[in-house]
A = this chain, B = another copy of it.
Amino acid sequence: MTTIDDYGNYETAWCPGCGNFSILKAVKQALADSGLAPHQVLIVSGIGQAAKAPHYLNANVFNGLHGRSLPVAIGAKLMNSALTVIVESGDGCNYGEGGNHFLAAIRRNIDITMVVHNNQVYGLTKGQASPTSPEGFVTKTQPQGVASSPFNPVTVGVAMKAGFVARGFAGQVDHLADLIRRGIAHRGLSLIDVLQPCVSFNKVNTFEWYQKRCYPLPDDYDVKDWEGAMKMTTQWEDKIPIGVIYQSDRKTYEDHFPLLKEGPLVDREIDRAVIQQIMEGYR
């Protein structure tokens, strides 16, 4: 039986007080609670402060390019379905540079869990606006404030009927760990957008700011009710619901391919006879 200690404890390059610490803890907790040993897990990240997270725990890791964690994760998962594949990266990484992969991943619904450290800012590059930065958010590159309306990943996720759409808050580690655990348990793509304070560059959406607004969804909330969920995703300014906002048992990508039901593709022997036959077809 695995415990959170199996996932280790490492020094980080994050700022003291950063929301990333609790997200890291929640991820480790969730993996342990899922009864997974480190070598059964592959964490794929991009580039950013959040993307450094996988270096701070025990697991297989592919820390790729900024914005490209999803395609790498998809390739790895399709090749070895035995791996529990987690995508862990920032809001800029997943919704900015990687926006197109986000849309495609929701449509594919492959069994991957996305944990997005959403601090509503580009942290590692010193505080430019991210896709989720609020309109009017002032930075050194947006001195007149952000002119675009913010990207709401939960709204788009639900609108596109993603299999599992949740929002967590770095300030509530146990609740978050449970969300991640459920995301891992869910078959298909799970999105867990995590509200994360950035003490260095986001002076608007601070720990307190979130603390005041975040509330867990009521027990009688119906995660299957799409219309209700859509409406719920629009809550933000004064109240922010956290928890599983929408869940469906959509067919997964894997379900479409008999090939993928025969166990990990990586273990499959190639069949010479079949190829011989294919070659004969060219006569």
Chain A residues near B (Cβ < 8 Å): 97-100, 103-104, 107-109, 131, 144-145, 147-152, 155-156, 158-161, 227, 230-231, 250, 253, 256-257
Pick the 4 closest A-B CB pairs, nearest first: A159-B159, A147-B256, A99-B100, A107-B148
| A-B contact sample (10 more), CB < 8 A, given A99-B104, A107-B148 | A97-B100, A99-B103, A103-B131, A104-B148, A107-B131, A107-B149, A156-B159, A156-B160, A158-B159, A227-B227
Determine the distance from Cα of A151 to Cα of B156 in the docked complex, in whole angstroms.
11
Kindly provide the distance from the CB of A84 to the nearest chain B CB, expressed in whole angstroms: 21
Known: A100-B100, A103-B103, A107-B131. A155 touches B159 (CB 8 A): yes
Residues of B close to A97: CB separation below 8 A: 100
Determine the distance from Cα of A107 to Cα of B98 in the docked complex, in whole angstroms.
16
Kindly provide the distance from the CB of A27 to the nearest chain B CB, expressed in whole angstroms: 26
B145 and A256 form a contact (CB under 8 A)? yes
Determine the distance from Cα of A230 to Cα of B161 in the docked complex, in whole angstroms.
12
Determine the distance from Cα of A105 to Cα of B219 in the docked complex, in whole angstroms.
37
Residues of B close to A108: CB separation below 8 A: 147-148
Determine the distance from Cα of A261 to Cα of B154 in the docked complex, in whole angstroms.
34
Determine the distance from Cα of A131 to Cα of B159 in the docked complex, in whole angstroms.
16
Kindly provide the distance from the CB of A33 to the nearest chain B CB, expressed in whole angstroms: 30
Determine the distance from Cα of A5 to Cα of B109 in the docked complex, in whole angstroms.
48
B160 and A107 form a contact (CB under 8 A)? no
Determine the distance from Cα of A131 to Cα of B102 in the docked complex, in whole angstroms.
13
Residues of B close to A230: CB separation below 8 A: 159, 227, 230
Partner of A109, one of B149, B152, B155: B149
